[in-house]
Structure 1
Amino acid sequence: MIESGKAANGPVADFGAIPNEKRGVTAIETAYTILRSRIIGGVYPPGSKLHLENLKSSLSVSGSTLREALTRLMADCLVVAEGQKGFTVAPMSLSDLEDLTSARITLETTTLIESIRLGNDTWEDNLVTCFHRLARAQERLEADPAGAFDIWEVRNKEFHDALVAAAPSNWLANFRHILFQNSERYRRLSGTQGPVPTEVHREHEEIFSAAMARDVDRAVAALTGHIRRAANVIRSNALIKE
């Protein structure tokens, strides 16, 4: 189990409630976004029970809206339902991390190879832009890992999405998105509780350079090592105890 985080399903000042005027899909989307942020950020720790009445009050939503948001989180594999026992935050473990890491490597490298082979000038231009934005976010992350992680995660996702943007398969893109979202909990743990991630920029730089050079073997090797980073940091620093 993860040692950090607080079990709380009541009001959380950082996120707030959903305004009463928001209805339907907008309310569901907002509830989903807030709950996901709380899960990813460890406000609701892995394995903790999600109390529906507390959440309805905290978010100011109806039961049907809350259940729809939780159903979406189940599809993301961030929440699990246990029969008549209700909903709980999906657990985190070293075995899950290893499985998730291996699956990510398979999908990320497959789509990277296709993207390098098919990418045009527009793909290159977007990749350059995303890399430079990520480099700036990385500088802030090294100075303040906890405070700068959220914007770094946005830039990190943009960069990884740009790498594989030319791959044509929508199915692979959908599965990759789910895996990437699930790995965010582990990346946050590694990036905020592990050693200052000073080597991450060099890894991104190597991936970027190889992709721009259309060097498939070098890019795959660099991306594989990069994806394994979080698992290596978490394991070596005992950030998860099973």
Structure 2
Amino acid sequence: MTQQNSGVFEEMSNLAKMTNGSRADFGLGLKEGKASTAIESTYAILRDGIIKGVYPQGSKCHLDTLKTSLGVSGSTLREALTRLIGDGLVSAEGQKGFTVTTMSLADLDDLTNARITLETTALIESIETGKGDWEDNLVLCFRRLSRIEERINIDPAGSFNEWEMRNKEFHEALVAASPSKWLARFRDVLFHNSERYRRLSATQGPPPAVVHAEHKEIFEAAMSRDTERAVSALAGHIRRSANVIRSRGLLNDPES
């Protein structure tokens, strides 16, 4: 054994002792780490597929098919699906298994109102407490979003995924100075749920120039620390997608 390898082994042994004492415990930790990574990866793949419509609303999550296609164990798959239940993207009913959560106008209205409440609260906190680094990051994110909003005029379908990424980045930058971790956690869940609806309205919504004007209004109000103006602009912007879906008849509420 070389001196270098001996040092690595000694470091691993010391770490094992710190975390509970034995090399067997350290090996168990590695297995747990791999399992956790597999769950996170499976969760991310499924969440992305649900949001983008690869797994349509109301469709059954066939465990055997998913295990084969994703190359994961049943326990890993079930843990990932359980996390998606917590996100509101998957539902489970008794012995009937897992189903991709259905979309409805009632859910959209509830989601929109909740998102407005949380995002405007976090925005107020950011405007009140944000420093120079908050402003610098917001400027950078707005510039990136503006560039993709120019390109989306030419190729809406091909540019949408990048627009969605930059849009999320901009909205996160707006509220980045909010100190509340709970607000951040719940906002993330709501944002991903609302993306399903945004994709539904993307091809039917107002021209990109109108969307960019809304983003610019929010950005300028936040930068000028005009809280009332910023909150009003952000609330209207979030509600726009729901209004488009309702007015264009893009979604039928099964309960209506």
Q: Say yes or no: TM over 0.5.
A: yes
Which 5+ residue runs of structure 1 have no aligned equivalent?
1-21
Structure 1: how far apart are the matches of 2:153 and 2:51?
20
TM (normalized to structure 1)? 0.88
Q: Larger relative contact order (C-alpha < 8 A, sep ≥ 6)?
A: 1
What is the DSSP-based 3-state SS (H/G/I as helix, E as strand, rest coil) of the residue aligned with 2:91? strand
What is the DSSP-based 3-state SS (H/G/I as helix, E as strand, rest coil) of the residue aligned with 2:179? coil
The Cα shift of 1:194 comes to: 4.0
Question: In the alignment, does 2:234 pair up with 1:223?
Answer: yes
Q: Match of 1:24?
A: 35
Question: In the alignment, does 2:103 pair up with 1:92?
Answer: yes
Report if the CA contact (8 A) 1:32-1:72 is conserved. Answer: yes
The Cα shift of 1:241 comes to: 1.4
Structure 2: how far apart are the matches of 1:55 and 1:193?
32
Q: Match of 2:169?
A: 158
Structure 2: how far apart are the matches of 1:37 and 1:75?
15
**Of 163, 166, 179, which aligns to 1:168?**
179
When structure 1 is superposed on structure 2, of 131-140 and 195-204 the one drifting more is: 195-204
Structure 1: how far apart are the matches of 2:147 and 2:155?
13
Report if the CA contact (8 A) 1:149-1:192 is conserved. Answer: no
Report if the CA contact (8 A) 1:49-1:89 is conserved. Answer: yes
Which 5+ residue runs of structure 2 have no aligned equivalent?
1-32
Between the two proteins, the alignment pairs up a number of residues equal to 221
Q: Match of 1:12?
A: none
The Cα shift of 1:104 comes to: 0.6
Question: In the alignment, does 2:95 pair up with 1:104?
Answer: no
Structure 2: how far apart are the matches of 1:178 and 1:157?
12
Structure 1: how far apart are the matches of 2:130 and 2:50?
35
Structure 1: how far apart are the matches of 2:233 and 2:125?
16
Aligned-residue RMSD, C-alpha = 1.4
When structure 1 is superposed on structure 2, of 91-100 and 37-46 the one drifting more is: 37-46
The Cα shift of 1:145 comes to: 2.3
Question: In the alignment, does 2:82 pair up with 1:71?
Answer: yes
Q: Match of 2:94?
A: 83
TM (normalized to structure 2)? 0.83
The one-letter code of the counterpart of 2:93 is: E
**Residues 132-147 of structure 1 correspond to what in structure 2 (within 5 A)?**
132-147=143-158
What is the DSSP-based 3-state SS (H/G/I as helix, E as strand, rest coil) of the residue aligned with 2:99? strand
When structure 1 is superposed on structure 2, of 163-172 and 117-126 the one drifting more is: 163-172
Higher normalized helix content (fraction of residues): 2
The one-letter code of the counterpart of 2:218 is: I
Question: In the alignment, does 2:142 pair up with 1:123?
Answer: no
The Cα shift of 1:195 comes to: 5.0
Q: Which has the larger radius of gyration?
A: 2
The Cα shift of 1:143 comes to: 2.2
